[in-house]
Chains A and B, each alone.
Chain A
Amino acid sequence: MFETSSESPAPVRVVTEAIKEYVDRLGPIWVEGEISELNERSGMMAFIRLRDPSVDMSLSVMCHKSVIAAIQPLPANARVVMYAKPSWYTKNGSLTLSAREIRQVGVGELLARLEALKTLLASEGLFDSDRKVSLPLLPKKIGLICGRNTDAEKDVVENAKRRWPSVEFEIREVTVQGAAAVSEVSDALRELEALEDVEVIIITRGGGSFEDLLPFSDESLVRLAASCKTPIVSAIGHEKDSPLLDLVADFRASTPTDAAKRVVPDIAEEIEMISKLQDRARRTLLGRLDLEATRIKNLRDRPVMKDPHVIITSRSEIIVALKDRAHRSFAAHVKLAKEELVQIKARVRALSPQATLDRGYSVVQLANGDIARDASKLKNGDVLRLRLAKGETNATVSPKHDAK
């Protein structure tokens, strides 16, 4: 600025004029924000507080009443764009934007902006399905961001407790529309994200107008939600509403009740299912045991196991059979031999001297057993043995009878 020192300070007027000169060099700009306050009481000028919808910052704006009249009637927290120039008021040393033109940002305009934001965020991959985290089955604690004393809050809590009586909530009641919504919801979200016990966060509010739901399409809030590690369930407005928060949430519920059902399992149902599974497992196993028992029984019933005597009897049967064979074979041999014998006997018989004896001859033997063939060798008184056809007898040699 210019040189000053504690010995030669500049007076107020000089300082304020210098600042004015500095500020006057700033040209007009287009700025967008929400009109959080409008004061048209005195004179020809209107005084406006223009705030940023996303963060807790605002500017004072001044304009001719006709400028603001041009866009009346204005809804609460109307979103506007202004063509304004920063002005320094030396009277009290304040900086104000002096608005030359104010336009309302229409719904159509807002929608277009939303679409553009949606495209931008999509291109950054914030809506990608692989960013979605699955919800825990039995969360330690459920974070809930909702309006104060709303049906939405009641719906979530009651339905959750009905399914799982001992469910625990961390509830943050905040403003869910208007000026403070974005910052309050964001703060609550940051708080709950930081709590380790909170394993899922539900953000919910009831139905409302497009403007009412706008905070849930706010870029900074949506980006914050996308960056959260804790899974988020969004249940904003009605089925037809689709704030951008829905797209970055890990699950979009159609109603607060639906959110509760998603986040909390029906304990009774789960217990029943487990019981049924246990039953099935038991029955399957029993079936298998039956099968195996039958197998074992069949093996045990086989003759070799049940009546192992067969091990022996089958062998003794073999022995018996062999004995039989031996017997029969032997018997056959004997028979053969017997027949041979008969034949030989006949032949011997045929060769025997009995036939000759039968014809009347006799065998004469000397005392020493020799057969007498020569009568001249006989002496009187010799004893002779006579073998007749039948029997034997002795004879003594006596003088021969001459045949006269």
Chain B
Amino acid sequence: MSEKKISYEAARDELAEVVQSLEDGSATLEESLKLWERGEELAKICQEWLDGAKKKLDSAKPGAK
């Protein structure tokens, strides 16, 4: 059920929400575990986005045509 095509901003914002919910502590144990899993997934997506972008920029350095 995880959408790999989610935009960077959407993933990052959802991650912030997940962390917020977990810190509230109001979720059930089961929900908390699910939230944490989702958080991990989102963090991974964000990291992939950032790493990919960095790679593109580095390879487009002037002189590296």
Residues of A bordering B, CB below 8 Å: 275, 278-279, 282, 285-286, 289, 292-293, 295-296, 299-300, 302, 304-305, 308, 311-312, 314-315
Contact = CB atoms under 8 A, between A and B. Distances in A.
Given A299-B19, A305-B39, A289 B54 contact: yes
B19 A302 contact: yes
B35 to A, nearest CB: 9
A312 B16 CA distance: 21
B47 A304 contact: no
A380 B50 CA distance: 115
Does more than half of chain B's interface fall in helix, strand or loop, or is it mixed? helix
25 contacts: A282-B60, A286-B54, A286-B57, A289-B50, A289-B54, A292-B8, A292-B12, A292-B46, A292-B50, A293-B50, A296-B43, A296-B46, A299-B12, A299-B43, A302-B19, A304-B19, A304-B22, A304-B36, A304-B39, A305-B22, A305-B36, A305-B39, A308-B36, A311-B22, A311-B32
Interface string B26-65: 0001001100100110010011001001100100111000
Contacts of B53: 285, 289
Interface string B4-23: 00001000100110010011
A311 B36 contact: yes
Contact of A304 (B23, B46, B50): B23
Interface residues of B, number: 24
Given A279-B62, A305-B40, A295 B29 contact: no
A390 to B, nearest CB: 66
Contacts of B8: 292
A282 B57 contact: yes
A381 B34 CA distance: 91
Contacts of B61: 282
Nearest to B60: A282
A305 B57 CA distance: 30
A292 B16 CA distance: 13
B12 A296 contact: yes
Contacts of B29: 311-312, 315
Q: Interface centre among A275, A292, A305, A314, by most B CB within 10 Å?
A: A305
Given A299-B16, A311-B33, A305 B43 contact: yes
